[in-house]
Structure 1
């Protein structure tokens, strides 16, 4: 790949970023060939290929048939995905699903509809695996809209089935619609196409939810910058930020869809430091927590989606005064903002990160928030030419 950015990027000036990069490479070398060590009491989930996913699914079906033959009262053990079964693994710094399950009787009148819907999802997944095809959650819903009634019903059953066969949702070949974008110093193979993401325009490559068909070929980036909003990514892409700093830029459009978080996890496992740019509000901190530790709803997928080493570059609450953001573009806190901030401050992983805890407390004290776009009051180029370079130079991140 081109080394143009390496000639501009001053590793002495930005030595704190370079230090993280070198530490990341050493960590990758040390962990080569080693599996992630999970604590006792958590469910072990695998990212399966098509053949193994089919085998797991048939194993579950065979178990149900065996129960029918032996007792006539088949029961399916479905892992409990409620908050009471979520564990914070402090060592790996991620949220994980525990081993508690809920028993669902397949012959109970109270669960007859749920079971019928689940069996229908099993049938669809089996067909997808047999034909080696992928479908979206929306498409699955429309295969039997009269049975599922609402998409939230089929969505929940997709996740139930994934946990029952102890696999990632992608292993079932059911994917979410593409949302995230990626641009910068990276070459990939997407299906039969080889793509240079530094030549993909201002929108970049749309992260393919069928990540089993995506292969990372080459990068000379030294960090990844994830931005909350696509508008910020367009601004960075127009400035060709990766030619000034050796980086890959991703836009998750909010907290990031599954495919974006899984792809980011892949990049971080290569040793690349990851920085996050979000709005200066409690939701921005929540987005950071999802990228870092995974979400509670999808805690069983955290080993494949969480990026614990991610650093929140901004926008921090203290930045509003440090960069003299005008009062006119600062937004008053709502009751919902205060509620979310207090909920985050009660989380153990926030309490363990004093800089993060202090930033949330300052936000709550000032009762103000601001969007990334607030920097445009200081000029359209301020974000790219002043704010981000200064942040990266001084190491001012959480």
Structure 2
């Protein structure tokens, strides 16, 4: 006989509404509206979280000011937003330096900051990954680097053309300007990041953007290139987050928090149920791994609206990895983490401890693959995870049990269990980490 799992002091006591919903689900009598949402009764926890985050932000700003005069901070590479004229000036400086090197008989070469994992570090006080000052020399005369040097020269030329003409293009269009040279888009994308590092600007400053991927819906309005956008009137599909976030102005909102959702399916459920009207919030998704546009937009919302962000992802290593990219930045773009990272996102769910707590049935739990387990174990060694004991415990439990679950597993209790019971319960009890 299997002993019942003992409830710990940290676990929330589920409401009568939640138990009734589960009983109704078992009897097949679930109907919409089983759990009424009384926003004022549980949003106090979100408001407390907001005050905590504001206090931490103030401490972080003090640390940044101290670091500005510290010699150790000079050993990090931080890029900034530049306008077209500033980018052109830096591009021409790089090319003139290369031309001088050729004329002096030293050949064509570029000194490029190294973006490898060994040249990165996680700074706990900043809560993000930063790039250290290591550099690599790319020499046209070297067989090992001749190809990358050629691609870099071509990308520098293309970016110069874009900034001169004051136009934007997508990464895909950039690749198609010289397919035979680039061969694969990953090669032109990689060098584009190198060029941003070389010049000392954000990637968006190069006027090269990714295609639209992210979506937003809920209690926020803004102007996009002069047009007023009201995200409560965007239907189930939501509003596509534009890649040119610099054209977004006048952001206003009466929301209490931002709900960051991993997957499109959960986003559609929340949008169709108009969850943002029942509980004042803004709902954002990048449909999986976040693109630069969505990360920039989320950071803008956080910076201008000062709202807490709650993350809703699958209970698997990749869900946690997605949250970590939003929070501390990606290794591929660690040079731009100051502009892209949004620290202080709370992991709301689905967490490994939720599987038993909410009675997720065995048929809705999936066995982790070998690749899942490797990713989970690798993440347990990340500084970002080690410095967050609650996240480390949850991920350790996931790896130990070798099981995962998607957000959609909650639909086993009814299609609206997510919006009627799960999210209200989690928010009411402040059940995030």
TM-score under structure 2 normalisation?
0.86
Q: Which residue of 2 aligns with 1:5?
A: none
1:227 offset after TM fit, Å? Answer: 0.5
1:257-268 matches, within 5 Å, as 257-268=291-302
Residues 1:79 and 2:113 aligned together: yes
Q: In structure 1, how many angstroms separate the alpha carbons of the residues matched to 2:235 and 2:192?
A: 35
Give the alignment partner of residue 376 of structure 1, picking from 376, 391, 411. 411
1:233 aligns with 2:253: no
Count matched residues: 391
Matched, 1:58 2:92: yes
Aligned to 2:374: 339
Deviation string 1:254-287 (CA, Å, 9 cap, x unpaired) is: 1211110111111111311111100011111111
* Aligned residue number for residue 141 of structure 2: 107
Larger Rg: 2
Is residue 255–residue 288 contact of structure 1 (8 Å, CA) maintained in 2?
no
**What's the counterpart of residue 16 of structure 1?**
45
- 1:209 matched to 2:209? The reply is no
Q: 1-side partners of 2:412 and 2:106: how far apart?
A: 70
Structure 1, unaligned runs of 5 or more: 1-7
Say yes or no: does 1:293 pair with 2:328.
yes
Give the Cα separation in 2 of the matches to 1:82 and 1:155. Answer: 15
Post-superposition shift, 1:204?
A: 1.0
User: Using a 3 Å threshold, how does the CA distance of structure 1 residues 49 and 32 change in structure 2: closer, same or farther?
Assistant: farther
Mapping 1:276-355, distance limit 5 Å? 276-355=311-390
The residue that corresponds to 1:125 in the other structure is 159
Displacement, 1:221? Answer: 1.3
Residue deviations 1:339-393, cap 9 Å, x none?
1111011112211111111101111121111000000000111000100011111
- Contact 2:113 2:197 (C-alpha < 8 Å) held by counterparts: yes
Distance 1:59 1:35 in 2: 29
Partners of 2:321 and 2:246 in 1: CA distance = 28
TM-score of the two chains, using structure 1 as the length reference: 0.93
CA RMSD of aligned residues (A): 2.0
2:423 is aligned to 388
Aligned partner of 1:187 in structure 2 is 221
Structure 2: gaps spanning 5 or more residues: 1-36
The Cα of 1:149 is off from its aligned counterpart by 1.5
